[in-house]
C-alpha cells in the first residue's frame, strides 16, 4: 500500500480497540517468567553448551601472542575460538570495529576469543586461563584535547537527525553582533551507557550450512544483514529469532559480539552454544552514547525574539564512526532568520559510539534548552513565554515548508497550568521547604517523526481468529498489544481474538524497534495487510469490500450480517502487504513536540538534589494505547533524570589505558524508584493525517528530549547554581549555594 495522500476517514477512526488503554499482552508472560528470552531458549536449542567471551585487556595495540592451551585442557572445555581459527570473517558496514578482534585491538574489552564448555562455570574458569601478551600502543581518549584539531564532519543518526558539517541560513555573525541581548555558553555531556535490564545474549544452532540465532535484538532484518556480512554466508542461510527483548535503547539495533561468537562457537562445537555478555563487559564491548562539547550562541531583541542562533557540537568516535548529531533540533525548534550549525568529529580509541535513546536530540537539547533558560534570565522574561514568542509553524530554514502538526505552544501552556508554574518564584534561591531549596524548571521537547516501510502478514481461520505475523520486535514497548489492537479494529474482532507473532526473520520485514518509528510504521503495515485481508473476506462472502463494515465478529453489507469466520470456512485466508510512503514527509516537516516541567529540592547544606515531581505534555499524533505510551514516556523521563544527575561513564584518559572505568551497575548509577517520587503525563488530543493511515507518530524518544535541561533549570531556580557540565553532581553545586543565614 502506497501512502502518498493524507489519510481520510478509515476503520481505525472507530477507536473501538485502537486508542484504548489495554493491558500489555506480554505482561502476564513476563510476570510469570514464561516469556522466552534469548538466553533461555532451552525449548528450541536443547543440550546447549556455554560460551564465555574473552575480551582485550588493552585499548589499542596488537596481540603479540595468545596461549589457549591451558584453557583447552580445562575440565569440560569443548574448544576455544579466536581469530586464528574462526575462518574468514567480514565486517558489517554498520560496525566501526570488528566483533571478533585480533591480532589488532581497536578498543578495550573488544572480544578476542570465546571459550566453549559444558557449563557456564567451566567456560568462565577456563577463560581465565587464556594468556595474552600485548604490544600496547598509545591512544586518544580525551575529547577536550581534540577540540582544536577535530575536523568538520556531517552525519546522520539514522533516526531522523542529520546535519551537514556546517549549515548556514542568513548572516549569523552580523545578526549576533547587532543583537542587544546575547548569550554565548559552552556545555558538555558525558559518555553514557544504555544500562538495559537484559544484557546482550544469544543462542546459536547450525543445521548443515544454515544457522539460527535466538538473540536479543531490536531490528531483526538488520541482524540478518549484519550477520551475513560478518559470517560471509548468504542471508537466506540465516534465521534470527527475537520475540522478547528486555530493553535495548539503541545498543541492540545491530548484532554485537555475543551473536557472532555464539554462531562461531556452535559451528566449532557441533551443537547449540549460548553466549551472554557479562554486565561488566557490556559498556566497553558494545556501544554507548558519545560525550559531547557544545557551544550555543543566541542573540535576541529586547522582546525575546531570537534573531541569531548558533549551535556547534564536538563529539568523538572510532575511525569510520559517525558524530553525535546534537545540533539537528536547533535547526527546527525555534524561529530566527540567521542560523549556524556545525559538527566536528574527533577520532578517539574508545569503544564504539552509536545510537542511544534519541541520539542527537537528547544531548543536543541538554545544551539548547539550558541556553534558552539563560537567555530568558538575561531578558528578564519568563522561560515559558520566551519559548512561545519564538514558536514557528514553518521550517525556519525553509519557510515554504509547513509543519504537518506543531502544537508546542499548547504543550507549554497546558503544562504550565497543570504544573502550577505561576507559583514559581523567578528569583533563584527564594523558595524553601525546611532545609531544602525548591525550584522549578521547564524545557521544550522535540523529535522528528520518521517514516519507513513496514510489512506484515495476516491470517483468518475458520474460528474467526486473526493472526498477525511480522518481524517487528517488542523491546518492552507494547508492540504485541498495539498490533493486536490494530488488527482487531480493522477486522472487527475483539483483541483477544487476535494472535500476534513477532521477532522472526521468516516473517515479513517490519520497521523494527528504534527511534520512536516502530509503533506508527508497524501498525500501519498491519493496517495495509488487513486492507487486503478485508478484500479477500469480502470476495469470499460476495459483498462489496469498500462499503462493508467489519464489527462484532461480523461483516455487514447490503443489509446482511455475515459471520467473519464464514469467509474462512473453506480454508485459511492469508494476506500480506506493506506500508510504503510517498512524498508527504518531504512536502511537510513532520515532528513531535512536548514540554517538560520539573520541580526539585536541593539540600542547602550538602547540595544533594532530589526530584520532587515531573510533568510531560506530549503532542505526538494519535496515541494508539495511552497506557503503554505513558509507560514509555515516564521511562524516558526517568532516563532523563539519570542523564541530568548521575549517569557518566568515567574515562581513564591515560595514553596507555583508555577505557570506561565504571563499567558495571555498581559504579554506573541509574535512577531507582526512590529517585522519582511523582510523574505525570498528558497527551494532547491530536491526529496527524499526513503521517500514516494510523494518524499516529512516535512518542518514546520525545519523553527524554529536554528532561535533563528541565532538571538543570530547576536546580538553577532553586539555588542560583548554573551548572553546564553534566551530570549535575553535588560537588558542582556546593560552591554556588546561597549563603546560609
447, 480 contact by CB (below 8 A):
no
β-pairing, 306-317 vs 338-347, is parallel
324, 385, 701, 725: the active-site residue = 701
Helix, strand, or coil (residue 675): helix
| Residue matched to cell numbers 518531504 | 586
Give the whole-angstrom CA distance, residue 6 versus residue 265: 51
User: φ, ψ for residue 28 (rounded to 5)?
Assistant: -70, -30
Q: Across the beta sheet with 609-619, what order do the strands follow?
A: 432-433, 436-448, 591-603, 609-619, 679-683
CA distances from 582 to 3, 9, 452, 558 (A): 6, 19, 10, 34
Is position 148 annotated as part of the catalytic site?
no
Distance of alpha carbon 348 from alpha carbon 315, whole angstroms: 9
Q: What is the 3-state secondary structure (H, E, C) of 44-78?
A: CCCCCEEEEEEECCCCCEEEEEEECHHHHHCCCEE
Distance CA 643, CA 641 (A): 5
d(CA 280, CA 300) in angstroms, rounded, equals: 48
| Dist CA 57 CA 330 (whole Å) | 40
C-alpha distances out from residue 36 to 32, 397, 655, Å: 11, 48, 44
Taking every pair of Cα atoms in the chain, the longest distance, rounded to a whole number of angstroms, is 85
Distance, CA of 260 to CA of 393 (rounded, Å): 47
CA dist 141 → 283, 346, 651, 656 (Å): 15, 10, 7, 10
Cα 134 to Cα 99: distance, rounded to the nearest angstrom: 18
Q: Judge residue 29's burial from the number of C-beta atoms within 10 Å of its C-beta, 0-12 exposed, 13-18 middle, 19 or more buried.
A: middle
CA atoms within 13 A on the CB side of 485: 30
What DSSP assignment string belongs to 355-371?
A: --SSTTHHHHHHHHHHH
> Omega of the bond prior to 538 within 30 degrees of 0, cis?
no
> Among candidates 147, 166, 194, which has minimal Cα distance to 290?
194
Distance CA 535, CA 1 (A): 13
The CA–CA distances, whole Å, from 731 to 84, 435, 643, 646, 725 equal: 49, 18, 16, 12, 12
Q: Which residues are catalytic?
A: 701
Amino acid at each position: 500500500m502506497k501512502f502518498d495522500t493524507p489519510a481520510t476517514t478509515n476503520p481505525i477512526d472507530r477507536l473501538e480497540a485502537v486508542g484504548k488503554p489495554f493491558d500489555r499482552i506480554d505482561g502476564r508472560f513476563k510476570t510469570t517468567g514464561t516469556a522466552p528470552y534469548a538466553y533461555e531458549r532451552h525449548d528450541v536449542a536443547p543440550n546447549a553448551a556455554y560460551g564465555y567471551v574473552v575480551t582485550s585487556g588493552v585499548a589499542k595495540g596488537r596481540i603479540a601472542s595468545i596461549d589457549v592451551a591451558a584453557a583447552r585442557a580445562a575440565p569440560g572445555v569443548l574448544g576455544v575460538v579466536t581469530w586464528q581459527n574462526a575462518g574468514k570473517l567480514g565486517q558489517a558496514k554498520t560496525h566501526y570495529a570488528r566483533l571478533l578482534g585480533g591480532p589488532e585491538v581497536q578498543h578495550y574489552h573488544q572480544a578476542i576469543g570465546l571459550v566453549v564448555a559444558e557449563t557456564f562455570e567451566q567456560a568462565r574458569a577456563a577463560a581465565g586461563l587464556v594468556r595474552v601478551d600485548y604490544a600496547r600502543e598509545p591512544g586518544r581518549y580525551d575529547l577536550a584535547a581534540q577540540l582544536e584539531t577535530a575536523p568538520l564532519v556531517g552525519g546522520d543518526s539514522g533516526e531522523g537527525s542529520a546535519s551537514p558539517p556546517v549549515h548556514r541560513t542568513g548572516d549569523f555573525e552580523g545578526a549576533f553582533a547587532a543583537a542587544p541581548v546575547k548569550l554565548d555558553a559552552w556545555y558538555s555531556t558525558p559518555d553514557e551507557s544504555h544500562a538495559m535490564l537484559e544484557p546482550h545474549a544469544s543462542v546459536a544452532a547450525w543445521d548443515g550450512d544454515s544457522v539460527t540465532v535466538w538473540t536479543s535484538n531490536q531490528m531483526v532484518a538488520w541482524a540478518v544483514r549484519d550477520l551475513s556480512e560478518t559470517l560471509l554466508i548468504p542471508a537466506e542461510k540465516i534465521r534470527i529469532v527475537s520475540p522478547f527483548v528486555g530493553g535495548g535503547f539503541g545498543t541492540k539495533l545491530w548484532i554485537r559480539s555475543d551473536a557472532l561468537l555464539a554462531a562461531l562457537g556452535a559451528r566449532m562445537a557441533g551443537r547449540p552454544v549460548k553466549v551472554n555478555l557479562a554486565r561488566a563487559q557490556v559498556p566497553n564491548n558494545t556501544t554507548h552514547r558519545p560525550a559531547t562539547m557544545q557551544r550555543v550562541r543566541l542573540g535576541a531583541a529586547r522582546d525575546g525574539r531570537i534573531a541569531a542562533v548558533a549551535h556547534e557540537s564536538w563529539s568523538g568516535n572510532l575511525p569510520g564512526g559517525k558524530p553525535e548529531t546534537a545540533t539537528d533540533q536547533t535547526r527546527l525548534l525555534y524561529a530566527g532568520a540567521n542560523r549556524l550549525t556545525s559538527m566536528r568529529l574527533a577520532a578517539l580509541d574508545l569503544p564504539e559510539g552509536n545510537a542511544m535513546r534519541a541520539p542527537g536530540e537528547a544531548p543536543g537539547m541538554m545544551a539548547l534548552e539550558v541556553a534558552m533558560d539563560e537567555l530568558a534570565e538575561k531578558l528578564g522574561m519568563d522561560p515559558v513565554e520566551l519559548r512561545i514568542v519564538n514558536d514557528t509553524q514553518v521550517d525556519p530554514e525553509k519557510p515554504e515548508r509547513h509543519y504537518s502538526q506543531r502544537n508546542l505552544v499548547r504543550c507549554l501552556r497546558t503544562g504550565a497550568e497543570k504544573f502550577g508554574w505561576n507559583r514559581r518564584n523567578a528569583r533563584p534561591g527564594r523558595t524553601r521547604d525546611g532545609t531544602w531549596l525548591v525550584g522549578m524548571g521547564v524545557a521544550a521537547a522535540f523529535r522528528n517523526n520518521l517514516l519507513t516501510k513496514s510489512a506484515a502478514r495476516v491470517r483468518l481461520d475458520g474460528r474467526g481468529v486473526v493472526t498477525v505475523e511480522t518481524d517487528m520486535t517488542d523491546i518492552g514497548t507494547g508492540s504485541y498489544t498495539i498490533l493486536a489492537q490494530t488488527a482487531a479494529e480493522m477486522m472487527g474482532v475483539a483483541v483477544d481474538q487476535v494472535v500476534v507473532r513477532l521477532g522472526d526473520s521468516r516473517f515479513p520485514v517490519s520497521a523494527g524497534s528504534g527511534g520512536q518509528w516502530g509503533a506508527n510504521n508497524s501498525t500501519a503495515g498491519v493496517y495495509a495487510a488487513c486492507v487486503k485481508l478485508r478484500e479477500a473476506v469480502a470476495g469470499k462472502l460476495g459483498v462489496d469490500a469498500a462499503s462493508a463494515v467489519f464489527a462484532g465478529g461480523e461483516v455487514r453489507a447490503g443489509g446482511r450480517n455475515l459471520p467473519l469466520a464464514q469467509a474462512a470456512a473453506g480454508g485459511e485466508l492469508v494476506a500480506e502487504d506493506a506500508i510504503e510512503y510517498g512524498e508527504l514527509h518531504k512536502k511537510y516537516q513532520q515532528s513531535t513536540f512536548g514540554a517538560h516541567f520539573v520541580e526539585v529540592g536541593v539540600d542547602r547544606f550538602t547540595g544533594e538534589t532530589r526530584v520532587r515531581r515531573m510533568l510531560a505534555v506530549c503532542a505526538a499524533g494519535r496515541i494508539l494505547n495511552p497506557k503503554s505510551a505513558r509507560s514509555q514516556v515516564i521511562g524516558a523521563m526517568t532516563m532523563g533524570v539519570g542523564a541530568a544527575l548521575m549517569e557518566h561513564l568515567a574515562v581513564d584518559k591515560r595514553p596507555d589505558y583508555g577505557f570506561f572505568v565504571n563499567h558495571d551497575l555498581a559504579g554506573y548509577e541509574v535512577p531507582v524508584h526512590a529517585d522519582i517520587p511523582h510523574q505525570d503525563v498528558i497527551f494532547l488530543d491530536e491526529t496527524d493525517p499526513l503521517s500514516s493511515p494510523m494518524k499516529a507518530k512516535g512518542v518514546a524518544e520525545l519523553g527524554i528530549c529536554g528532561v535533563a535541561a528541565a532538571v538543570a533549570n530547576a536546580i538553577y531556580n532553586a539555588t542560583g547554581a548554573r551548572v553546564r557540565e553534566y551530570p549535575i553532581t553535588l560537588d558542582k553545586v556546593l560552591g554556588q549555594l546561597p549563603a546560609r543565614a
